[in-house]
Structure 1
Amino acid sequence: MTNTVKFLLVDDLEENLLALEALLAREGLELHRARSGEEALELMLGNEYALALLDVQMPGMDGFELAEIMRANDRSRHIPIIFLTAGSGDAARKFRGYEAGAVDFIQKPIEADILRSKSNVFLDLFVQRQQITSQRDELAMLTAALQAADQQKNRFLAVLAHELRNPLAVLLAGLNFLERPKEGLDNESVRKSMRQHLHHMTRLVDDLLDINRIEHGKISLRKETVLLGDILPPALDIAGPAIEAAGHDLQVELPDEPMTLEVDPARFIQIVGNLVSNAARYTPAGGQITVAVSKLADGANITVSDNGVGIPVEQQSVIFEMFGQSDNGRGLVGGGLGIGLALVKQLVELHGGEIRLVRSAPGEGSTFEVHLPLAR
């Protein structure tokens, strides 16, 4: 929505234009002048006017002819026209003016109060129309956002149902096996499978609760001064089962110089564990995952790279949003609710850090970088 309203003043005499400018000048009103109908039409091509004040008697194209051309053009037909005339006000003349599209006539010599009063009506109408247009556009954007949120909610509920149903089915089947043991059944492997799926369900619920706490400002960090080399291994252990199950090769690169961070150890483990687990989940079996740590002047960079399925370009802008899970089109939809990266982003930012997607391409993998400040 523009803050400046524009009037178009058309008269072949410079002194008349100067007089109109002096009478109409006010803050927020931009006055454009034209000395002929042709010049006025040219100005209309690049400007939107709230009102056109046209002198009737001009050489060449007179005011009536200009008005008729304006009414025939889609861009200018909506512009209100007030004719300024020094001639007689007979009915036939006025009829032609109204037929050409005039909303009013003002006789010369012009009375200042009448000109200001009538022009203010159209200025206010134009501003109101702009406001209505802006509100309409905002309403359309809000409607689109609500529709997108509704689709996102439905998708989340569908994924949630899937994510909970699968481990519940395994737990139920395992319980049945244990209650009615069969010959040759490996009870320990059944229990191991049940523990893994129970851990998966617990993690889903914990992530949901953490997101809710952060959004309501109810999560607080318990920061400690720790060596990065001491808390990185427990973070990698979280993803250990997924890496081992898929036969991934995990490479860890640490600088020789120790780095001290002031972080909440549990949340740091959650951040790195989520990123490495994501890499394992989105990488086909036998993939390569690299966790590289580097020290900068203002902090530590932790880079997690994989050679997995990658993220389509059109989805890269939403991966840090709630439920912005990537569907990579290769049958790997992540085995999660799509809240992992959103949670990681919020936890990193609570620490005064930053996370970004460095690169990603379908079939080539992804690289995420977390920047955290060093302990002072």
Structure 2
Amino acid sequence: MIPTEAPIDRPTESAPRQRASILMVDDHSSNLLALEAILEPLGQELVKATSGEEALKFLLQRDFAVILMDVQMPGLDGFQTAALIKQRERTRTIPIIFLTALSRDAAHIFKGYAHGAVDYLLKPFDPEILRSKVSVFVDLFLKEQQLQRQAALLRQKEREALERQNELRYRRLLDSLPECMWAARADGTMYYANQVWRSYTGRENGDLSLELFLEDVHPTERDAMRAVWDAAVKQGARQEREFRLRRKDGVWRWHLARAVPERDENGRMAGIIAVATDIDDKKRTEDALARFKATLDATLDCVLMFEPEKLTLTYANAGAARQLDVAVEELLGGSILKVESGVDEEGFRRLLAPLLSGTLPSQTYTTTHRRRGGSEVPVEVVLQYVAAGEGQGRFICVARDVTERQRAEAALRMANEAKDAFLAAASHELRTPLAAAKGHAHLAMLKLGGQTENGPGKSLTIINRQIDRMTKLVEELLDISRLQAGRLSLELERFDMAGLVRETCERMSVLAQAHPLRVDAPEKLEGLWDRGRLDQVLTNLLSNAIRYSPDGGEVAVRLVEEDAGVHLMVKDRGVGIPPEKQGLIFERFGRAHGSKYGGLGLGLTISQGIVEQHGGRIWVESRGVAGEGSTFHVWLPREVAQASAAAQASLSVPQHQVSAG
């Protein structure tokens, strides 16, 4: 029985205001300053770390309420640091919020949660939202500290209570419990409430009654709580109900109330004991999970979860039901193999093995999913394994319908093939009239006796030059067609590369009056290559160096011999190439500066094809700063026949459908 004596006075204990520590990890000091400005209003201790290693050192020295972690850092990145934090017993429960400007796709988000993140915010983020999220974890941390102190105080009071009379011992015990507690007689009349409830509601004085209790219950739930209390009194049975209880500062928090009948030695109901447990934080977490599930259900992608042993589906979102034309309930409990139609169980388990062992973080592959009626839908799948500590983990499968994408790719492929066929045909057809025009222009110039300074002779010179330019463009189009069709052949011969470099530079110097050409090459450097094609590559690089240096400046050409090949460098002092566009210039019709400097954007594509056909490689170095220019590098093996054979062998290796995430 709950004692009925008057409450015993206890000295109040004043404790200094507790502060939590927040760890901010980012390799950019500007980001740390920004985070400090956002979180300073919380009034907590802010600790800054500029690397994952420094963050781990801080974690050895103190406890933190929450960690804000940047994903991309030198050395240990955010994911690796989080994995090490979760391996340590003392720090594994610290919540981690990832802050990143990384891709938004599902693979990166699941990777963050797989490494123990409680949230994954993409930059730029709302400071108020970040501050709100951090304040929740700070409150949880401080509350946990408070509960630990209360538990220690409870143990102390229990030891003291053993020395007192039973009634006094029970009262002290009830008053020290963290939950609000009430006691009532068999007729439902309340006669006792513990100190926790009085402190929580601020009702330190006054007679206790059901009406007084209901005044602190949310208005929308008072009638329901009255009905629960009446049912407990009349039926003498256990009753439970969630409700909101007002704290003395006016804040409403969710509680779980349990009313349990108290019986005497004869089994008759002697009274009721009621306890209310604060579940507000749990309720908010459940609401957050519900919102997350609603988000998954709203996505068009198919999201499935299955356990690794029996491959049984444990979760399916609404997108899965739409994609597979089947109810979610029908999917749950079935095998993932009923959905995956492109592989048998043995092959599927081989696919899962590197994820289970941790060798790969995720798998990305294309397959088909089987619908209810037997039809199949092509999908791109991202598969990831999420461990569960000591328990069994689960696989998460996100499948996107790529039917429309495949149709678009097929249409684009057909359009490219048609375009290539047209370019090849048009180039061949243009060669005949160009050759005829070239011949007639040459014949006309002969009849004029070489008078090309003025009159018809000058016009014929201009016509002849434009015919040469048109012929070069046609040849480039033909070379592109040959590259696309794999018909660009090499005529290998042994010759002196150094001589070719000097000869080409002398020829180009006539066109480069404002661009002195400086050649640094050995006396002789022989090898087995296609002389005509390498002349074409070097001519193209020199032409580009001149064209993209409108203010003039020296063009340096250097040829050096290396162990297994030769290294050719062409450096100019022109406009340079921005780093983000350096991959574009080797694509067909790709130009870093648009049409400002002329050209079709085919020369570097053809040059790359010629160099790779030799078994070499071509690349560029440039900061994109005007005046600093660019440096193009060409590396070629000394024995092209062997290198080409090796390249062809590498091209014959089949491409797998699955790629590591």
Q: Which amino acid aligns with 2:619?
A: R
Task: Return the match for 2:519 from 248, 252, 272.
Answer: 252
* CA distance in 1: counterparts of 2:413 and 2:593, whole angstroms: 17
Does 2:557 align with 1:294? no
Task: Return the match for 1:200 from 465, 469, 476.
Answer: 469
* CA distance in 2: counterparts of 1:191 and 1:236, whole angstroms: 27
Task: Return the match for 2:611 from 344, 348, 356.
Answer: 348
Partner in structure 1 of residue 485 of structure 2: 216
Indicate if the aligned counterparts of 2:577 and 2:624 stay in contact, CA closer than 8 A: yes
Partner in structure 2 of residue 120 of structure 1: 334
Indicate if the aligned counterparts of 1:325 and 1:334 stay in contact, CA closer than 8 A: no
Does 2:636 align with 1:372? yes
Indicate if the aligned counterparts of 1:351 and 1:372 stay in contact, CA closer than 8 A: yes
Q: Offset at 1:185?
A: 3.2
Report which structure shows greater RCO (CA 8 Å, sep ≥6).
Answer: 1
Q: Please state whether the residue corresponding to 1:279 is helix, strand or coil.
A: helix
Partner in structure 2 of residue 242 of structure 1: 511
* CA distance in 1: counterparts of 2:592 and 2:507, whole angstroms: 22
Q: Offset at 1:358?
A: 2.4
Q: Offset at 1:207?
A: 0.7
Does 2:113 align with 1:46? yes
Q: Which amino acid aligns with 1:120?
A: G
Does 2:292 align with 1:74? yes
How much is the aligned-residue C-alpha RMSD, in angstroms?
4.8
Task: Return the match for 1:337 from 600, 622, 627.
Answer: 600
Indicate if the aligned counterparts of 2:589 and 2:602 stay in contact, CA closer than 8 A: yes
Q: Offset at 1:295?
A: 1.0
| Residue pairs, 1:322-333, within 5 angstroms | 322-327=588-593, 333=596
Q: Offset at 1:71?
A: 6.8
Q: Offset at 1:326?
A: 1.9
Q: Offset at 1:148?
A: 12
Indicate if the aligned counterparts of 2:518 and 2:555 stay in contact, CA closer than 8 A: yes
Partner in structure 2 of residue 359 of structure 1: 622
Q: Which amino acid aligns with 2:516?
A: D
Does 2:497 align with 1:228? yes
Indicate if the aligned counterparts of 1:288 and 1:306 stay in contact, CA closer than 8 A: yes
* CA distance in 1: counterparts of 2:454 and 2:540, whole angstroms: 34
Q: Which amino acid aligns with 1:203?
A: K
**Structure 1 pair 197/360, CA: closer, same or farther in 2 (3 Å)?**
farther
Mark the structure with the bigger radius of gyration: 2
* CA distance in 2: counterparts of 1:145 and 1:283, whole angstroms: 41
Partner in structure 2 of residue 112 of structure 1: none
Partner in structure 2 of residue 96 of structure 1: none
Q: Deviations over 1:125-183 (max 9, x none)?
A: 599499366453685598599889999x8xxx9xx9xxx9xxx9xx9xxx9xx99x9xx
Q: Which amino acid aligns with 2:598?
A: G
Indicate if the aligned counterparts of 2:554 and 2:573 stay in contact, CA closer than 8 A: yes
**Structure 1 pair 293/140, CA: closer, same or farther in 2 (3 Å)?**
same
Indicate if the aligned counterparts of 2:495 and 2:527 stay in contact, CA closer than 8 A: yes
Indicate if the aligned counterparts of 1:207 and 1:340 stay in contact, CA closer than 8 A: yes
| Residue pairs, 1:35-184, within 5 angstroms | 46=113, 69=287, 72-75=290-293, 78=297, 119-120=333-334, 124=338, 128=369, 131=379, 134-136=399-401
Q: Offset at 1:218?
A: 1.7
* CA distance in 2: counterparts of 1:71 and 1:230, whole angstroms: 73
Partner in structure 1 of residue 204 of structure 2: none
Q: Which amino acid aligns with 2:491?
A: R
Partner in structure 2 of residue 11 of structure 1: none
Indicate if the aligned counterparts of 2:492 and 2:529 stay in contact, CA closer than 8 A: yes
Q: Which amino acid aligns with 2:484?
A: E
Q: Please state whether the residue corresponding to 2:466 is helix, strand or coil.
A: helix
* CA distance in 1: counterparts of 2:593 and 2:409, whole angstroms: 22
* CA distance in 2: counterparts of 1:188 and 1:285, whole angstroms: 31
Q: Offset at 1:373?
A: 1.4
* CA distance in 2: counterparts of 1:149 and 1:282, whole angstroms: 35
* CA distance in 2: counterparts of 1:361 and 1:145, whole angstroms: 36
Q: Please state whether the residue corresponding to 2:494 is helix, strand or coil.
A: strand
Q: Please state whether the residue corresponding to 2:511 is helix, strand or coil.
A: helix
* CA distance in 1: counterparts of 2:573 and 2:285, whole angstroms: 67
Partner in structure 2 of residue 312 of structure 1: 578
* CA distance in 2: counterparts of 1:281 and 1:141, whole angstroms: 40
Structure having the higher helix fraction is: 1
Size of the aligned set, in residue pairs, is 264
Q: Offset at 1:243?
A: 1.5
Q: Please state whether the residue corresponding to 2:478 is helix, strand or coil.
A: helix
Q: Which amino acid aligns with 1:345?
A: Q
Indicate if the aligned counterparts of 2:505 and 2:517 stay in contact, CA closer than 8 A: no
Q: Which amino acid aligns with 2:292?
A: D
Q: Which amino acid aligns with 1:249?
A: P
* CA distance in 2: counterparts of 1:309 and 1:125, whole angstroms: 55
Q: Please state whether the residue corresponding to 2:467 is helix, strand or coil.
A: helix
Q: Which amino acid aligns with 1:323?
A: F
* CA distance in 1: counterparts of 2:408 and 2:483, whole angstroms: 26
Q: Offset at 1:194?
A: 2.4
Q: Please state whether the residue corresponding to 2:632 is helix, strand or coil.
A: strand
* CA distance in 1: counterparts of 2:288 and 2:338, whole angstroms: 22
* CA distance in 2: counterparts of 1:242 and 1:124, whole angstroms: 69
Q: Please state whether the residue corresponding to 1:131 is helix, strand or coil.
A: strand
Q: Please state whether the residue corresponding to 2:586 is helix, strand or coil.
A: coil
Q: Which amino acid aligns with 1:308?
A: G
* CA distance in 2: counterparts of 1:205 and 1:361, whole angstroms: 31
Q: Offset at 1:239?
A: 3.4
Q: Offset at 1:118?
A: 5.5
List runs of 5+ in structure 2 lacking aligned partners: 1-92, 97-109, 115-257, 259-276, 298-302, 306-326, 342-368, 370-376, 381-397, 641-661
